[in-house]
Each structure stands twice: as C-alpha cells, then as structure tokens.
Amino acid sequence: SASGPAPVLDVHRIRQHFDFPAAGRVVTNNAASTQPPRELLELYRSLSPWYENVHRGQSSASQHMTGLFEESYDTIATWLNARSRRSIVTYRNTTEAINAVMYSLLSEFRDGDNVVTTTMEHNSNFVPWYALSREILPRFGRRVDHRLARFDPVTGELDLEHLAQLVDARTKLVCVSGASNFLGTKPPLRRIRAIADDSGYPRPDGDSGSLLLVDAAQLVPSSSVDVQALDVDYLAFSFHKLLAPFGIGVLYAKEHLLEQALPFLYGGDMIAEGQVAPDRVSYNALPWKYAAGTPNILGVIASAQALRLLLDLVAGGRPRWFGTAEPLARDVVVSSMDLVARHTTAVTEQAMRSAQDVAGLTVYGPPPGAPRSPLVAFTVEGMDPLRIAEGLNELGVESRAGCHCATLAHRDLGLVPSGSCRLSFALYSSPDDVDSAMEALRRVTAPARIGRVGLRAAGRPY
C-alpha cells in the first residue's frame, strides 16, 4: 500500500489461514464478529474420534473430551491472567455473562442501593441494570437506583469526575466498558477501580468498596488483559470477536465472589456428585457450580483453540493442537497481544488519517493519537449511514450502520435513530483493506463517481 504504514504483523501470511480474502471480501466489520481461521473449522473434524459428552461417561472418548474441555478453561484463565480456572465461567456471550452477574447479585441488593454505569455502554451493559432497577427489584418491593455517568461529546472521554460524583456509599456495583464499540474510547480502568474502592460501600467481609464489572467485549480482542493487575471483580467478553465460533462468552469473576454467590442456573453437573437429597443439595466445585446442564463443549474447546491459533498466527509457527500442546505461557500471550494491539492501532490510525480527506465526514470518539479500540465510527453530512453501508457493500466493503447497540451514546450525540457507520479492524486487517474501504467510501459519498469498476474486481486478493 502506498499510503499505509508497514504492518506490524505479517498480514499476508496470516491471511492465508482465512477464506475471506479469496472470496474478495473486504472484512471491515470486525467489532461485530471476526472471521475464523480455516484450522479452527477443521478442529470439528479432528475431534470426531472422541466425540462425547463431558463429565458424563467412563468411555475413553468421554475422558479425552473432558480433559480437552477442562484444559480449555486453564487456557482461558492464562489468557486473562486469572489465578485459575476456578474464576472462569462460560456462557453464550457477553450479554448472558453480564445478565448472570445481575441475577446472581439479585438477592444481595439492599433497598436504597445503586448501580453506576455510563452512557457509552453497549445495551448489554445497560439494559440489564435498567431492568434490575425499573422492572425486577420493584416487584420484590426493593428500590435500587441506576445512575449513568456521561462522556465528553467532543473527545469521547468518560467524564471521571461525574462518575466519581455518582459513586457513593450506596453503590453496590460500577459497570463500565473497557472499550466502547461505537466511540472506541478506552476508559482508564485503574482509576475507575480506585473510584469504586473509595465509595465506602460496606462489604460483607467488613471492608468497604463497590464491585467493578468490566464489559471487555471490545477490549480482549485487541489487547492483553490482566484481570489481577486491573483488580476487576467481574469481566465479560465474547469469543466470536476473537476468531472463535459463535456461542461462547466468558465471565471472569473473583473466586470468592463465585464461591459465595448463588448461580442463576440450577440442574445437572452443577451439584456435587452424590450430594443431592430431598432437603439438601451441595454444589459442585468451581467453576462447574456455574455449568448447569450439558455445556457447549465444542464451543469451549474451539474457543481455547482459537487463542492458541491466534498465538501461532502471530508467531508464524505451525498450528498446534490440543492434547499435544504444552500449557500456555502467559508472557507469550502478553507479547503476542501487544503486537496485535500495535498492528490494529496502526491500521486504525491509517483509517483516521484517510477519513480526513472525505468531504463532510465526522469521526466520533477520541482524537487521532489518543487511545482507541480498532474502530472508526462516522457520519457524512447529508447522507443516511445505512445508505453509506449499503453503498460500501456494493463495492465489496463490509461495514455496519445504525446505533451498534450503543443507543444512549448515539442519543447523547443527537444521532438517533439513523446512527453512524462503522469500520472496524482485526489482527488480519491489512493497509490495503483500509485503502479499499476508504476509496469505496469516497466513491459512495461522491455520487457522481459511482459506477466505476468495483473494488471487488480492482482489489488484489491477498
């Protein structure tokens, strides 16, 4: 690419593991979901000799699957630098993980407590707290406030002073996104941790401080995350944004919180073997206390395998497989994800620079050079974002238009209901992807120029 930076990662090699480049797709909607490496889809075939349920059979196949399944939790724990798999619970997605926290805390909210979130949240970290406050607890005769911290409409920065004003000695929980899926803002989590710690909310252990939940759906895919260093109480993300198939989300929670909380799903496997009587049930050890019913076994194994594949793609080695692989090394995770962060940041900055040449275009969120997750949401004066996205699609460029489930933030900026158009990047995004997307955007927003040869035909398949 003439205009793009030299990529930090060898994207040419990485893209050979994916099917989308040969299909002529310019995949620039990665904040919604990423593409799976080919080896990941082949994993399903390679598991067929052992295809069995886990924790539910004495066959060698079931034992083998159980081993792979449980190891997957170790892999995810190392990825996040959790102390152990006992802190890792799997759900369907981020949304279900956040709802699980809400339901498990239901019995603990006292009348007059409050929850503080922000107006830059994805609806999955807003609506559960809205429902808790306005729909659920009122039916139990309890009143819990839901407070919203604002952001600076020009810089997209979370207003920390406002957040600190809202957090008080009745704040049970502070819920923030680690990276906004619309603005790209990355709120300073350590400072927010300090604000929560200083709230004065009395904890059952005699200490004080509010719980902190981080929606990391947009943070985990493009940076290394250390749950112990951040000292978060809860952290949720979805694997479909991290090369893995749909259907698996993770809730990390501090072990003592999972020990003491009530699960919100009850049934088989979440009980201690043999410990069920009509008047007494004991729950299984963590994390299986939170794994009621047959889990998404293939999804969990594939998710952990996706992490290993990601490391292999970054390092340039041959994909390794479960059963033969040694445990993940945390330092490799950190250094690999630092490369992914540098790469996706460079590609995003290229897009930000290039966007400046598009007449009438406004980019939302942090200014160039400020921390930003790898996405750029924008509007173009006089054009419906949906028309822009459709026009891009006609030229082979994939984007997303609308409110991206970040409806409150769009409302704050006066962009409801039409929303914005968003381009978003992943570790396999190339400078050519950005050039293709921006050239398509210039054509779509300058109607007289439409009708030339489509980019799909002109673009060189990587």
Contact positions vs ligand PMP (CB under 6 A): 93-95, 122, 124-125, 177, 181, 215, 217-218, 238, 249, 405
Do residues 394 and 454 lie in contact, with contact meaning Cβ atoms separated by under 8 Å? Answer: yes
Instruction: Kindly state the smallest distance separating residue 123's Cβ from ligand PMP, in Å.
Output: 8
Separation between Cα atoms, residue 152 and residue 119, nearest integer Å: 11
Nearer to ligand PMP, 14 or 216 (CB): 216
Instruction: Kindly state the smallest distance separating residue 286's Cβ from ligand PMP, in Å.
Output: 23
Phi, psi (deg, nearest 5) at residue 440: -60, -40
Nearer to ligand PMP, 75 or 238 (CB): 238
Instruction: Kindly state the smallest distance separating residue 120's Cβ from ligand PMP, in Å.
Output: 9
Told to judge if 405 belongs to the known catalytic residues of this protein, a careful annotator would answer yes
Nearer to ligand PMP, 87 or 181 (CB): 181
Instruction: Kindly state the smallest distance separating residue 177's Cβ from ligand PMP, in Å.
Output: 5
Nearer to ligand PMP, 28 or 354 (CB): 28
Nearer to ligand PMP, 181 or 210 (CB): 181
Instruction: Kindly state the smallest distance separating residue 74's Cβ from ligand PMP, in Å.
Output: 23
Instruction: Kindly state the smallest distance separating residue 241's Cβ from ligand PMP, in Å.
Output: 7
Separation between Cα atoms, residue 329 and residue 322, nearest integer Å: 15
Instruction: Kindly state the smallest distance separating residue 219's Cβ from ligand PMP, in Å.
Output: 8
In the structure encoding, which two tokens stand for residue 119, read together? 């107006």
Instruction: Kindly state the smallest distance separating residue 213's Cβ from ligand PMP, in Å.
Output: 11
Which among 48, 53, 10 is positioned nearest to 297, based on CA atoms?
53
What secondary structure, in 3-state letters, does the chain show? CCCCCCCCCCHHHHHCCCCCCCCCCEECECCCCCCCCHHHHHHHHHCHHHCCCCCCCCCHHHHHHHHHHHHHHHHHHHHHCCCCHHHEEEECCHHHHHHHHHHHHHHHCCCCCEEEEECCCCHHHCHHHHHHHHHHHHHCCCCCEEEEECECCCCCCECHHHHHHHCCCCEEEEEEECCCCCCCCCCCHHHHHHHHHCCCCECCCCCECCEEEEECCCCHHHCCCCHHHHCCCEEEEEHHHCCCCCCCEEEEECHHHHHHCCCCCCCCCCEEEEEEECCEEEECCCCHHHCCCCCCHHHHHHHHHHHHHHHHHHHCCCCCCCCCCCCCCHHHHHHHHHHHHHHHHHHHHHHHHHHCCCCCEEECCCCCCCCCCCEEEEEECCCCHHHHHHHHHHCCEECEEECCCCHHHHHHCCCCCCCEEEEECCCCCCHHHHHHHHHHHHHHHCHHHCCCCCHHHHCCCC
Nearer to ligand PMP, 32 or 450 (CB): 32
Nearer to ligand PMP, 66 or 222 (CB): 222
Nearer to ligand PMP, 65 or 149 (CB): 149
Q: Which residue among 175, 403, 405, 421 is the active-site one?
A: 405
Catalytic sites, residue numbers: 405
